[in-house]
Amino acid sequence: MAATGEERAPAAFDSEGADWSLTEYSAPRDKISFFDRPTAPKPSRIGKYVILDCIGRGGMGIVYRALHPVSKQIVALKVIIPQQATQAAVDDFLREIQVLARFSHRGIARIFDADTFKSEEKERPYFTMEFIEGAKPVTDYSRDALCDYRRRLEMVLQTASTVAQAHRVKVVHGDLKPTNVLVGLDAEVKVVDFGAAIDAASGNETLHSMTPAYAAPEQLDELRAVPQSDVYSLAVLAYEILTGRLPFEEPAATRASKELDSGRSARIPIPIRALNRTVSTKVEKVLLHALAHKLEHRYADAEAFAFDLASAMRGGLLSIQEKTLWNRTEAFCAEYRGPVLAASAVFAVLEEPGGGTCEGESQPRGGQCQKPVGKGRAVGAEGAHSQPGRRGIEEEY
């Protein structure tokens, strides 16, 4: 991407040629988009990389398009804004580097290099990653490219599959939103900016930052993020991709009063099919399940969400089908497994040849026994299998 705005000569450079007199970087963090381009002068070099132009910024960092002087490879270089370089910010930045180094997936911008450079007599960390040519937020891309319904769903599914890979290595993204899900000229979907990521393997759930409009209730109210939080954000993102708007009437924000109980604070999304009739009822069901107010009522992780979304796109069965008589029977059998197995064994014996005879007959007959010996009830030949084609209770449980 080419930088916008007029180039200006830098006022002062440090020993590495980097200008850090960026006094114009003062907008509030929650008002800054990653794609806001600063008007302050860019550095000419960071470490060994030649800085070409600025392609974006966030609340704590700046991303430049840079050139490796030897390989001539174009990369995206991310560095902390000096004025924001507190120890906590540096720790978060280093954690992002470590998180990106833990896994490789085609849907995540690859990390190439990580190092430090001297600025204002201090060592500052930076890292380089894959440069996404012509990158646009996924919502902008779906609108500008006039994507049809299926293509939009495919982009949601690709995003969910990428986040699922992060969940497999115990990483929670924590800040999924359109500007962190990019589509380049090659039409590939890439998830970026793991600056708010949480290492769930360490048992830590403390939230570092978020975007309220896409944040799950537990992020807003408890300042913590878990895999189900990413599922919620994925559903909000999907809703916006499919309808062009967020799923709730009012903008999301941290509630001013903590006295509201969970029932009153739960927000009901606008019916998605009222805004886009091409959305199938199964896709709608998947998104509503992912948008559940209580995290235990959502999909456990992005993989489960992606599985059901893919199934809904094919018109297949979902893991969250409504409770049928058989579902309730299965739940009963699971809860009372011992007595059910014992009863099944009795029925199996009675069904075997010689297992039961009718009064006045020396041999068992094939049909239903009309007058059983003693006080036991009649057992039909078909009675032990009320669900043909289903596995037996012993095999199922």
Residue showing tokens 């440069």: 131
CATH class entry, domain 136-314? mainly alpha
pLDDT at 336: 57
Alpha helices in 203-249 (DSSP H): 217-222, 227-243
Phi then psi for residue 198, to 5 deg, are: -120, 135
pLDDT digits (tens, 9 = 90+) for 158-199: 999 999 999 999 999 999 999 999 999 999 999 998 888 888
Give the integer Cα–Cα distance in Å for 125 and 127.
Answer: 7
pLDDT digits (tens, 9 = 90+) for 356-369: 444 444 444 444 44
CATH class entry, domain 29-130? alpha beta
Residue that wins the pLDDT comparison between 14 and 139: 139
Strand pairing category for 49-57 and 189-191: unpaired
Domain ranges of the chain: 29-130, 136-314, 325-396
Spatial contact of 210 and 180, defined as CB atoms under 8 Å apart: no
Nearest Cα to 235, choosing from 293, 175, 167, 289? 289
Spatial contact of 155 and 147, defined as CB atoms under 8 Å apart: yes
| Model confidence band, residue 268 (pLDDT cutoffs 50, 70, 90) | confident
What number is the average pLDDT over the span 27-38?
Answer: 41
Residues of the chain with pLDDT > 90, as a percent, come to 48
Query: Residue 26: pLDDT above 80?
Result: no
Alpha-carbon distances of 297 from 50, 204, 239, 292, rounded to whole Å: 49, 22, 18, 6
What number is the average pLDDT over the span 248-271?
Answer: 57
pLDDT at 250: 61
pLDDT at 231: 98
Query: Residue 326: pLDDT above 80?
Result: no
